[in-house]
Amino acid sequence: MAVGKVTFSKVEREKLAEVLWLLNWISVVTGTILFGLGLFLRVEIHKWQEVMSEQGILYVPHMLITTGLAACCINFFGGKICLDCADTNKFLRWKLVMMPYIICTFFFTSCVLAGALMCYGIRSQMEESLFMGLRNAMRYYKDTDTPGRCNLKRTVDLLQIQFQCCGNTGYRDWFQIQWISSRYLDMSSSAVVDRMRSNVEGKYLMDGVPFSCCSTFSPWPCIQHHLSTSSTQDEQSQQLNLWRRGCRQALLDHYTGIMQSIGLTVLLIWLFELLVLTGVRYLQTAMENVLRLGDPESESDGWILENSLAETARSNFNIIKNLGKCYQVDDDPNINVPTAAAEEELPS
């Protein structure tokens, strides 16, 4: 029994072909949108890739860019096919191309759905990447004269100012690393030497933060040092003095908002492409049935699947199974070698 069986008259087939031609051209526009979204996401990730530990998350924008380009090409080609399929004579030119075209469109539509799901499933990987990347960036914050790290200080400062954040998970993260370069330390001072000797690794640790952690909403000058001393300021003034949120959470919220918006857009594009694919399948089966009937003016049936889903799956499995048997090779060395009894039966 056919799945989704619908009967089409000649006029309905022509209207279906014209609507599909228009939808394919709209799909070219949606493909351009996919490409633009992937490019936008690639640029947004590139802005702060210095504070990310790995570039594995780039597969999401690359997936959207590739899918967008494929959408433009496939739907541009599909518009020409659907317009010609309104005429029975022109359909004969595309008959052998229709099924490969539908299969390619099906895989492309599946890629669109995969891209939408990736946008929603990348949060945990993004969080881990930001945590490791920010930890390394803070560790090398002081290395302004080291090749490859000289721009990290500027990047971290811009990040903390723009997103109003401080540290990885909070401002106390700066207490655990030496963020002041040894070039700016007065090694003749006994206080500096004693502080470095008190640390096992010989680092100059202090309960202070960089200037970029200072809140712009503070009504008084920013206090950056001796933050752990209770007499320095009360809790309320400390909250107004420094940014309280960690940069990992700030960046994660920023990228999560972008991913969710892009994911919703891609999901809507997938539903639209699924509609186009269903219409093309109906047009193909309806036109093939017209050719079987031999009367272009008659009504014809169109469907999504000629048999039920279980029968279709079983048939495809048997086809794959038989293809595997065709390529099996018998390793018996005596194959096709006549036996002695067979040689005696041969006529002289």
Q: What are the pLDDT digits (tens) for 168-194?
A: 999 999 988 888 887 777 777 777 787
Token pair of 316 as six digits: 């495809």
| Model-wide pTM > 0.85 | no
At residue 342, the pLDDT reads 46
What is the torsional sign of CA 46, 51, 52, 55? positive
Beta bridge partners of 302: 6
What is the band of 203 on the pLDDT scale with cuts at 50, 70, 90?
confident
DSSP conformational letter for 242 = B
CA distance 138 to 51: 9
DSSP conformational letter for 300 = E
Enclosing domain of residue 184: 143-228+239-247
Asked if 48 contacts 251 with a C-beta cutoff of 8 angstroms, the reply is yes
182 & 49 share domain:
no
Q: Let me know if residue 319 belongs to a domain.
A: no
Which tops the pLDDT comparison, 285 or 266? 266
Q: Is the pLDDT of residue 335 over 80?
A: no
223 & 186 share domain:
yes
Q: Let me know if residue 329 belongs to a domain.
A: no
Q: Is the pLDDT of residue 11 over 80?
A: yes
Q: Is the pLDDT of residue 36 over 90?
A: yes
At residue 324, the pLDDT reads 57
At residue 34, the pLDDT reads 94
Q: Is 324 exposed, middle or buried (0-12, 13-18, 19+ CB in 10 A)?
A: exposed
CA distance 41 to 258: 8
What is the band of 258 on the pLDDT scale with cuts at 50, 70, 90?
very high
91 & 63 share domain:
yes
Token pair of 3 as six digits: 């799945």
125 & 211 share domain:
no
21 & 125 share domain:
yes
261 & 199 share domain:
no
Q: Is the pLDDT of residue 268 over 90?
A: yes
At residue 28, the pLDDT reads 94
Which tops the pLDDT comparison, 197 or 140? 140
- Which amino acid, residue 68? G
